[in-house]
Amino acid sequence: MDQDLQRRGHRFARYADDCNVYVRSQKAGERVLLSLRKLYDKRHLKVNEKKTEVGPVFGRKFLGYCLRRWSKDTVKIAVAPKALDTFKQRIRLITSRVGGNGMTQIAEQMQAYLPGWKSYFRLAQTPHIFKHLDSWTRHRLRAIQLKHWRVGTTVYSRLRALGATHELAAQIAGGAGHWWGHSEAGLNRVLTVKYFDDLGIPRLT
């Protein structure tokens, strides 16, 4: 298939049976797809109709990546929306507040997942996405830490021991049971990035 595509002068990207062919127009795409169907038929290969279509390059997913128009003349490689959704689903599972995992177990699962995900998507040229994911993950971790401390008196004493002011510790301790809403109410000044670094939570940035 690669040789046939090269012989026809097409620009394409292929990994195993996933293949994108890049042409200049919708009409050219439809024509090329028809010829590819014939080539596949000759080799007794079946096209997956659910995943096969002709469409604009922007927004299409390929191996977890997509292309984004950054400015009029600039195109960047980005993580596809579906891959971002999968990442968040996995982090939600690891950081579930009803799973009973302590921060040590959470850190171990993060260490098993985050570095591999980061390595796979190292070609992405949109670092702000990784910063957003780091921030979102820490938001969840702060909520979990508060839940692990459970009661307001424990929350207050732990926060004070970490350097929180009386006013901030009292405010957050008074919101027992509403950890998600309180996990960003100034708590990032106490449960800092370094706090989670010391717990062994890896970062994407």
pLDDT value at residue 29: 94
pLDDT value at residue 192: 92
Phi, psi angle pair for 78, to nearest 5°? -135, 165
Which residues 6+ apart lie within 8 Å of 142 measured at CB?
179, 183, 184, 187, 188, 191
Task: Give the Cα separation of 173 and 65 in Å (integer).
Answer: 42
For the chain, residues with pLDDT lower than 50 are: none
pLDDT value at residue 185: 64
pLDDT value at residue 182: 65
Instruction: Yes or no: say if 184 and 175 are a contact pair by the CB < 8 Å rule.
Output: no
User: What is the pTM assigned to this prediction?
Assistant: 0.84
- Kindly give the pairing relationship between strand 65-71 and strand 18-22: unpaired
